[in-house]
Structures are given as C-alpha cells and as structure tokens.
Amino acid sequence: MLVLCSRARHNGILRNRIQLQRALAAATRSIQTTTVTDSDIARLAAKPLHPLALSDLCRHGRPPLSTEQLLNSANFTLSILPSRLAHRIQSLRALPYIVVANPHVNKIHGNYVHSLSTLLPYAERKIENLKDEVQFTEVMADLVQTHNNTISILARGFLEARKYITAQDVTRFLDEHLRARIGTRLIAEQHIALHFSSQPHNDLDDSSYPDQSVEESSYIGVIDTALKPADIIRSCEANVGEICELNYGVRPTVNLVGNPETTIAHIPMHLEYILTELLKNSFRATIEAGMEKEPIEITIAPAPATEGETEHLKTKSERDADLRSSGVAGMHSTAGVISNYDQGSVDFASGSNKHQDAASANNKPLDRRTPGVTIRIRDRGGGISPENYAKLWDYGFTTFNEDEINDKVSGGNGSAGAGLDVISGAGGSGSSLAGLGYGLPLGRAYAEYFGGGVAVQSLWGWGTDVYLSLRGVGRME
C-alpha cells in the first residue's frame, strides 16, 4: 500500500495519503495466485515481444482518467506483462544449472514465478469494473515490491558464480535481462500512477483542495511532459556532492551551460539514475586526480539533433563486435528507432524467439519532430586508461580488487568509495551496486530504452566527455 501511495506524490497530487490508503484497503482483497505450470510458461513465452514507445504509456489520455480510460490502462498492462514475465523465467532457466542453483539467482527465478502466479487469474479475462481494477492495481504494487532488489541480488549471485560462467555470457544475459526489467517495472508503475490520477478513485477521497487539481500536473503517470533536465542535474549534483564531501572532505563544482530552460517529456526516475551514475564517476575521478578545483562542465543542448549526430551517439563499437561474434549482430537501433535489443525484448538468452529479427518491421521509429536533449558532462579527472576503456560496457567490470569484491559480496563496506554507495540505486536496486561495475552499462540501458544513448570520449591523462542523448514523447496536448 505504501508503494501505491508514493505514486500520488509523483503525479504532483496533494492528497491525504492516509485516507487514500484506507479507501483502497477497504476495497482490496488478498492477492489471488494460480499455480504456474511449464505449459503456462511455454505458451506465454511463445508470444513475440515488441518495442514499447513512450507514447504507448500516454495512450490512455491526460489525467484525471475516466473509468473507461482507467480500465483500458489496466487491460493494456495485463495484455503485455504475463508474456514478459514468462520470457524472463525461460531466460533464467537457460543459464547453467550450477548458476541457477545459486541462492541469489534462484531467488530471482522464484520472484518471477510468484509474479506470474498473481497475474494468471486475470490472464484469461478482461478487467471490466472498478473492483477488479483495484485488485489488479494491488497485484501491480506487489510485482513492483517483489522485484525491488532484483539487480543487486543478481549482482551478488553472478559474483558468487563467476567461476562457472564466462564474463561474456554474464554481460549478454544481464544486458538483456535488466533491459527487459526496466520495461516490466515501468509498465506496472505507470498503471499504479494512473490509478491514483483517475477520476473514479479521486472520488474516494472526500478531502477538498480548492486550489489544487489533477489537471495542473504535468505528469501522465510516471512521465513528466515538462521535465527540466537542469533541475534533475542540480538535484543529483547536490546529492553526490554531499556524499563526496563526507567521504573525501571536498566536492567539485559544476558549471551548467547551454540551455538550462530546455524541457522534454520523459521519466524523471530514469534520468535521475543515469545522471547520478555519471556524476558519481566524474566526481570521484576528479577528486582522486586531485583536480577538484577544476569545475565539471555540463552542457544542455536541446534537440532535435541531426541524423548524423544521433547516429554518432548510438555507436557502440565494442559491444557490436561482441554481438557479431555471437551471431546476433545487427540488432542495434539506428537513429530515432527503438529496437527490440534496446528494450531486452529479443530473449536470445533462452532461445525461445530467435526467429524474431531484433531489427524487424515491428520497430517503432520516433517522430522526427519529437523534442529531445543532449547532455554533455566534461571533467578533468584524468580520463580512462585504454585497458579499462575496452571493458567499459561490461556488466561486472570494476576497478575494485578481489578483496574488495569479496567484501561487497559478503555485504561489507570496506571499500574506499563506500560513501558513494548510499546513493546507488536503479528502481529500488539498493546501495549494493556501487563498485560492482553495473552503474554505467545500466545507465546506458535506461537511456537507450526509448531511443537515446550514452557515448564516452576519453583523453587518457586529461579527462572524459560523456554524451547523454534522450528522446522524448513529442508534444503532449
């Protein structure tokens, strides 16, 4: 219930959360489950997965939603989540048995089976009334909570099982699995947010706020249609800076240039994670290079960018080479296109839908008029060494030594950069990812999910430029 109530804040709705909690609890029943069989998994995993556009999440209209719009949102969510969960279960089962037997990896497998068991009672019917919708929203809240720590648990599992699976296979699996998780979580959170911004459920609250209304919010669910990247940058700068000051005794300054008034329709939670990870890297490198008096320069450049510029930001030469060697080349999206690979919808790990071309006609090109933004972060932190640069996008690549990694696995905090751990997180991943080599590749996955990208240019011995490209949802009327 607390998860549901937190979504009201995301929509900018000033409501009495206690009353909302009581009203929803009065209408809620215990979550029903159905035993998940192998045939259920095989049947659902046989359905192809297609890319999801930001516009898909806004298709039900601007809040407050009517009863019909809210039920349409619930049924849209129900139509795509069961097959996504089934694909993830098959993907996990395709790992070597000794890896799946690891307690952490096995826990994640069990979590996916549990979530699918809560959706199966709805899978063969439509949600046609508000009572069913309330119960379905509780299922979505349970799904979000169940998978809250998926990334950190998987990180520990693969660290413990790294003797039994190659680093290349780990990167391939996690790149697919964690991208798919972004969509699964986002779809559930979007319906939860729309639930609280719907007219029928607003009526459950008898409090009156004459000067506040849902219509004043710029949010559609978890999407802010007037997101200002400069505000997110300053917030992340403050958080990272405070931790650096506590840990190192100093904090670099940030010069914000370009067009700070730029707005974009995007998801604040995603941008917060990406920028936090990028600023953590820049701040740490700057301080450890003794260059904290040199400001970090962040440039905000409004899009649309030219096709050539966008293509440059989508260049992923190191990973493309790896994919070519594994026989799944050509899956990366071109400029302005959301690819199945970018969203983890190819399911190569389990092999259940290899017949589906990762760059098929199902891809949805973004509107060329869609406004976007490019953010450049430039630091004087000494750059990235050539041997580390080649491994930059590998999940699990870290500059921590073996003893520090073991300390991480055991839950310790012995690393020199432990102070930065407390601000690591991706959709509830917790603080345990810092130093384990997940931040940068996962940040790029968030950027690429809706057609953006992250590119890194390093001058070894001088500093690093990171380019974050984001594409929005277009003008929302």
Q: Helix 103-123 vs helix 150-160: angle between axes, to the nearest 10 degrees?
A: 140
Q: How confident is the model at residue 319 (pLDDT cuts 50, 70, 90)?
A: very low
| d(C-alpha 361, C-alpha 275), whole Å | 32
Q: Is the pLDDT assigned to residue 366 strictly greater than 60?
A: no
Q: How confident is the model at residue 471 (pLDDT cuts 50, 70, 90)?
A: confident
pLDDT tens-digit profile of 399-428?
444 555 555 555 554 444 444 444 444 444
Segment 114-138 mean pLDDT: 92
Q: What percent of the chain has pLDDT over 90?
A: 47
Annotated domain spans of the chain: 2-219, 223-304+369-471
How far from chain centre, in Å, is Cα 329? 24
- Residue 447 vs residue 52, higher pLDDT: 447
Q: How confident is the model at residue 38 (pLDDT cuts 50, 70, 90)?
A: very high
pLDDT tens-digit profile of 240-286?
999 999 989 999 999 999 999 999 989 999 999 999 999 999 999 99
Q: Is the pLDDT assigned to residue 113 strictly greater than 60?
A: yes
Q: How confident is the model at residue 292 (pLDDT cuts 50, 70, 90)?
A: very high
The structure's pTM equals: 0.79
| d(C-alpha 113, C-alpha 90), whole Å | 10
| d(C-alpha 448, C-alpha 343), whole Å | 8
User: Which of the listed CATH numbers 2.40.70.10, 3.30.565.10, 1.10.10.10, 3.40.50.300 matches domain 223-304+369-471?
Assistant: 3.30.565.10
At residue 454, what are phi and psi to the nearest 5 degrees?
-130, 130
DSSP state at residue 306: P
pLDDT given at position 55:
81
| d(C-alpha 372, C-alpha 380), whole Å | 27
How far from chain centre, in Å, is Cα 189? 11
3-state SS assignment for residue 429: coil
Average pLDDT, the chain: 77
Q: Is 53 exposed, middle or buried (0-12, 13-18, 19+ CB in 10 A)?
A: buried
| d(C-alpha 293, C-alpha 272), whole Å | 25
Q: How confident is the model at residue 102 (pLDDT cuts 50, 70, 90)?
A: very high
| d(C-alpha 384, C-alpha 391), whole Å | 11
Q: Helix 317-325 vs helix 167-196: angle between axes, to the nearest 10 degrees?
A: 110
pLDDT given at position 33:
86
Q: How confident is the model at residue 56 (pLDDT cuts 50, 70, 90)?
A: confident
pLDDT given at position 298:
97
Q: What CATH number was assigned to the domain covering residues 2-219?
A: 1.20.140.20
- Residue 346 vs residue 97, higher pLDDT: 97
